[in-house]
């Protein structure tokens, strides 16, 4: 059974970059039939899918259009983990951030989730 | 963007009650709709995928139906651990979530 363990800061300064990591156990970040996703939840915006990375002989990324330009999701095969890097933070980025595995056709069925990381953007 | 609208926002029920939650999509998503259960402080839990298939380990009291734009999740006989917030999510065009229905104890 796959388990996802998240880590990262709980408080970030506006204009800075948020980096969160999701360590995978029970699967490989390089598995060719899955994707590795980031989702966030805030009271004002509800649940939002941010983007994903996946390996199909090459590494690919898909990001929700509104986050393009300031979101990078990458993978570290040596540590079997993937990470989110969200730049130019504003208080509107305050949310609980989740990592999740995507499976099934298109690797878009989110079947396993991390425990969540509360992130507050404030000076 | 496909918008998912869930209703009602909140339901106050008692253990043993049956309940049906609704999710309506702004455009057809075929059967590419999932339901999640979310308890405070926990990871969301996949209940139903592709509109009507129960995920591994999900009790039979949870059932889903629908296609196109109208979907429902039925819980037949609420257990104490079922009081939570339920979200629908489509994966036909990117991924979007509904606003959730909170099932609370009356």
pLDDT tens-place string over residues B43-96? 999 999 999 999 999 999 999 999 999 999 999 999 999 999 999 999 999 999
CA distance B91 to chain A (A): 6
Closest chain A residue to the Cα of B94, Cα to Cα: A64
Considering only the beta carbons, identify the residue of B43, B55, B91 that sits closest to A98.
B43
At A81-123, the pLDDT tens digits run 999 999 999 999 999 999 999 998 888 999 999 999 999 999 9
- pLDDT of A118 reads 97
In chain B, which residues have their Cβ closer than 8 Å to the Cβ of A47?
87, 89, 97, 100
Section A64-93 average pLDDT: 95
Indicate yes or no: CB of B43 within 8 angstroms of CB of A111. no
Q: What is the mean pLDDT of chain A?
A: 95
- Confidence band (pLDDT; 50, 70, 90) for A42? very high
Q: What Rg, from alpha-carbon coordinates, does chain B have? A: 13
Asked whether the predicted pLDDT for residue B101 surpasses 80, the reply is yes
Please name the residues in contact with A68: beta carbons below 8 A apart, sequence gap of 6 or more: none
Contact between B97 and A115 using a beta-carbon 8 Å cutoff: no
Q: Which of A49, A106, A113 sits opposite B44 (nearest CB)?
A: A113
CB atoms within 10 A of CB B93: 13
* Contact across the interface for A109 and B95, Cβ inside 8 Å: no
Between A37, A111, A116, which is nearest B46 by CB? A111
Note the pLDDT of residue A106: 86
With a cut of 80, say whether residue A75 has pLDDT above it: yes
Contact between chains at A98 and B34 (C-beta distance less than 8 A): no
Question: Is the CB of B99 less than 8 angstroms away from the CB of A106?
Answer: no
CA proximity to B44, closest of B77, B89, B80, B79: B89
- The pLDDT assigned to A117 comes to 97
Which of B44, B95, B98 is nearest residue A108 as measured by Cβ atoms?
B95
pLDDT tier, B100 (very low <50, low <70, confident <90, very high otherwise): very high
Per-residue model confidence (pLDDT) at position A96:
97
Whether B94 sits inside 8 A of A109 (CB atoms) is no
Among chain B residues, CA nearest to A43? B99
Contact B64, B35 (CB under 8 A): yes
CA B5 – CA B93 distance, rounded (Å): 16
- How does DSSP assign A73-96, residue by residue? EEEETTTTEEEEEE-S--GGG-EE
Nearest residue to A115 (alpha-carbon basis) of A21, A13, A26, A48: A21
Q: How far apart are CA A35 and CA A52, in angstroms?
A: 6
CB contact under 8 A, B95 and A110: yes
Q: Which residues contact B65 (CB under 8 A, 6 or more apart)?
A: B51, B52, B71, B72, B74
The single residue listed with the structure tokens 């043993």 is: B16
């Amino acid at each position: 059974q796959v388990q996802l363990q998240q880590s990262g800061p709980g408080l970030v300064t506006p204009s800075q970059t948020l980096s969160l990591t999701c360590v995978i156990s029970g699967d490989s970040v390089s598995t060719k039939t899955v994707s590795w996703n980031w989702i966030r939840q805030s009271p004002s915006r509800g649940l939002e899918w941010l983007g994903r990375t996946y390996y199909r002989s090459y590494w690919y990324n898909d990001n929700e259009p509104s986050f393009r330009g300031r979101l990078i999701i990458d993978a570290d095969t040596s540590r079997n983990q993937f990470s989110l890097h969200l730049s130019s933070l504003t208080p509107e980025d305050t949310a609980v951030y989740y990592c999740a595995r995507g499976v099934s056709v298109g690797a878009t069925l989110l079947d396993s989730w991390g425990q969540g990381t509360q992130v507050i953007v404030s000076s | 963007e496909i918008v998912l609208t869930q209703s009602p926002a909140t339901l106050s029920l008692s253990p043993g009650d049956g309940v049906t939650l609704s999710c309506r999509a702004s455009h057809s998503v075929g059967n590419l709709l999932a339901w999640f259960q979310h308890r405070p402080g926990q990871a969301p839990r996949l209940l139903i995928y592709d509109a009507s298939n129960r995920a591994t380990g999900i009790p039979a009291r949870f059932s889903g139906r629908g296609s196109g734009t109208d979907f429902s999740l039925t819980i037949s006989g609420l257990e104490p651990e079922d009081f939570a917030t339920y979200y629908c999510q489509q994966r036909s065009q990117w991924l979007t979530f509904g606003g959730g229905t909170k099932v609370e104890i009356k």
